[in-house]
Amino acid sequence: MNHSLANLHPNPGWDAAHAPIGKHCILELYNCSASKLNDEAFLRSTITQAVHQAGATLLHLISHRFDPQGITGLALLAESHLSIHTWPESGYAAVDVFTCGDHTMPELACQELVVALDAREHSLRSFLRDTPAELGTQEREPA
């Protein structure tokens, strides 16, 4: 049997002829562990694990620790990106996960972050990014 990625998509129901370009998740984390939000090594490890959980491919990970507190991390993915910005003093983190294609599950990356950062509350908004009309009519093959 010949399988395509569309046949294996974790969210069947995407119309292959009008498939979206990908999925975008916006995650707000509240009442998180302040020490975890301010631990750059921990966040880098957690981001890497979240990318793995989503089934995405990590190309590059950069992070920056602010003085006196807070961290920004950005994972460049073959499929797009994952970013996190933390405010340890408020127990808050803002996360953005966008993955192209139909083989990844960015919600699983978000779930990993909720648990790892001990978020007592969170808000997740997820939406499909529409394929531009000019891309929808072209046959696209992996490089």
The one catalytic residue among 85, 103, 122, 126: 85
Q: According to the model, what pLDDT value does residue 102 have?
A: 81
The one catalytic residue among 25, 32, 100, 110: 100
Q: How many CA atoms lie within 13 A of 80 on its CB side?
A: 20
Residue 85 bears catalytic tag: yes
Q: According to the model, what pLDDT value does residue 101 have?
A: 81
Can you give the residue range of the structural domain that contains 94?
22-125
Residue 80 bears catalytic tag: yes
CATH classification at residue 73: 3.60.90.10
- If one compares 137 and 122, the residue with the highest pLDDT of the two is 122
Whole-prediction pTM? 0.79
* Beta strands per DSSP E along the chain: 22-30, 58-65, 71-77, 80-87, 92-100, 121-129
The one catalytic residue among 25, 80, 110, 122: 80
- Look at residue 51 and tell me if it is in a domain: yes
